[in-house]
Amino acid sequence: MHNMKLAAPSAIARTGLVVIDPSCNLLASNAEAIHILTFPERPEKIAHLEEWVSSRIRSRLLDRRGPAGKGFVTQFRSENRTYLCRFFQLNSSDRENQATTPLHVLLLERNSNGMVTVREISERFGLTPRERETVGLLLEGLTSKEIAERMKISPNTVKAFIRLVMVKMDVSTRSGIIGKIAGSQNGNGNGHGVVHRASSSA
């Protein structure tokens, strides 16, 4: 695959997009992603930009606490800004060698409009790293089984984490956790005005 950059769709684009190989080498990106990953540096001033950005992706976006360090963080900070990171896996077929190479697409979005981060919520309620990871996946709408698969633990352990989080947040249901976070985002503590996709399945 050629190292080519994707043009930014508009000057005010907020979502960065990068495509990387299994070694986190940059294959393609849009201008917003380059801006996010190089900030506060100026991209045009960086020699060997692709290698520099690839190194930044490995140091900032790889979740080294996950299995074999192959996962990606759900959020990260760049100076005083917080960004959300979502990743998707693609399979790129090499017709010549009849092989399939897994590629990752990362979407980077500014955490704006007063939205609190999972890290900030964790600090506020004294959550452990694993409880914080559970809450982050819960916010994505995953069930206990799906969270267990993502975290490589049993569903019962996930339920235990969720029960501990409920105690710390002083709520009695999964939706109560979502509501508490939504309320924090709105600054009113009651969660009104924000809709989250969350599964009620345990």
CATH number at residue 74: 3.30.450
Cβ proximity of 191 and 183 under 8 Å: yes
Nearest of 166, 163, 186 to residue 177 by alpha carbon: 166
The residue among 94, 110, 126 that closes a domain is 110
Helix (H, G, I), strand (E, B) or coil at 10: coil
Same domain? 128 vs 66: no
Q: What confidence tens digit (pLDDT) does each residue in 185-196 have?
A: 544 444 333 333
Which structural domain range is residue 81 located in?
15-110
Strands (E), the chain: 15-20, 26-29, 62-63, 71-72, 75-78, 81-94, 99-110
- At what angle are helices 118-125 and 174-186 packed, to 10 degrees? 110
Structure tokens at 130: 């694993």
Cβ proximity of 143 and 199 under 8 Å: yes
Q: What's the pTM value of the predicted model, to 2 decimals?
A: 0.49
Total domains, the chain: 2
Nearest of 69, 81, 78 to residue 111 by alpha carbon: 81
Same domain? 105 vs 166: no
Q: What confidence tens digit (pLDDT) does each residue in 56-101 have?
A: 999 888 887 655 556 888 888 776 677 888 888 777 655 565 556 7
